[in-house]
A = this chain, B = another copy of it.
């Protein structure tokens, strides 16, 4: 679906007298020095994209990649165009899952074609934001690339914040006095972090290259802005690593807790078993059938036996309390 297509002249959107899907018409008017076209597509069908590709002479290999939406983040240079793939991330509260989409961008001297898959990183609002910042938009296609990267990386940060909260929850759960079963939660979080890592890590390289101003078609003046984005990507990547290693430590602590609880349970159980055993032993003793057992004939022998059982139990109970077994 073609979401929007527009011609920008010196950072200002120019009204074009044609339907937004008549891309050839739009493109033909981008003749001036500061003119460029931005076409935004969302999950386009093959033929839709083919048509766009024809208008802007996009490289067939890149077009193929843009349709499939199972790429690694990457920046590729074709003769007179760039092809940039970003993974978008968003957090689904219902099941604490991180989901991934993809944005592909074709960048030429006077056009940008952005192809979005999945529901992350809504671009139309990014376009509206950008249209209000004429100074920025005046930098041409670079500004669009920057705006989209910035938007995507901002979403990474909010995903990371959500994961951070999850990790905090796991942490409290692991160290709560309750018996908890955190291993599945930890596993799922590690899997989500691994997914986030696959989206974020490969992006460092392209952002660094933008920040160094060494990519043709991306304006050198935009370098400080991309440096900012690159910085955020690195911070996100570092956070992923430290959350991951924190989870490993939390898992170990969880294991230690299970072992300790097992030990405590065992001691508690054994203490009670001992208390029962001593009673059984005393009762067994007076259940013997000897002819000559003086206690049996005592007036209060039975009560003595009962007292013995209770006393021994109580004595043991107190001992166990003192030594921490109960």
Interface string of A250-292 (1 = CB under 8 A from B): 1111111111111101110110111011111101111111111
> Interface stretch among A33-41, A125-133, A238-246?
A238-246
A173 at the interface (CB under 8 A from B): no
With A61-B225, A187-B249, A245-B194 already in contact, the answer to whether A72 and B231 are too (CB < 8 A) is yes
- Rounded to whole Å, the gap between the CB of A96 and the closest CB of chain B is 14
Task: Tell me how far the C-beta of A76 lies from the nearest C-beta in chain B, rounded to whole angstroms.
Answer: 6
Q: Indicate whether A326 reaches chain B with its CB closer than 8 angstroms.
A: no
The answer on a CB contact under 8 Å between B246 and A59 is no
Do A302 and B293 touch (CB < 8 A)? yes
What band does the interface of chain A fall in when counting residues whose beta carbon is under 8 Å from B? 35 or more
Chain A positions 29 through 64: 1 when the CB is less than 8 Å from some CB of chain B, otherwise 0: 000000000000000000000000000000101000
A295 within 8 A of B: yes
Is A24 in contact with chain B by the CB < 8 A criterion? no
The answer, among B228, B254, B300, for a CB contact under 8 Å with A61, is B228
Q: Of residues A184, A224, A297, which shows the largest number of chain B Cβ atoms within 10 Å of its Cβ?
A: A224
Most buried by B among A171, A179, A292: A292
- Chain A 141-177 near chain B by CB (<8 Å), digits 1 or 0: 0000000000000000000000000000001001100
A262 touches B263 (CB 8 A): yes
Q: Please, how many angstroms separate the alpha-carbon atoms of A273 and B267 in the complex?
A: 13
Contacts of A174 in B (CB 8 A): 187
In the complex, chain B residues whose CB is within 8 Å of the CB of A305: 285, 288, 290
Chain B nearest CB from A248 CB (Å) reads 8
Chain B nearest CB from A128 CB (Å) reads 21
A66 interfacial contact with B, CB 8 Å = no
Assembled-state Cα–Cα distance A242/B286 (Å): 65
Q: Distance in Å from the Cβ of A303 to the closest Cβ of chain B? A: 9
* In the bound complex, CA of A187 to CA of B251 (Å): 10
- Between A and B, 28 residue pairs with Cβ closer than 8 Å are A61-B225, A61-B228, A72-B231, A78-B224, A183-B256, A187-B249, A187-B250, A191-B246, A197-B242, A198-B242, A251-B252, A255-B256, A258-B260, A259-B262, A262-B263, A272-B274, A273-B273, A274-B276, A276-B277, A277-B277, A283-B284, A288-B302, A289-B296, A290-B305, A291-B297, A292-B298, A292-B301, A292-B302
**7 tightest A-B contacts by CB?**
A283-B284, A183-B256, A286-B288, A290-B302, A269-B270, A287-B287, A276-B277
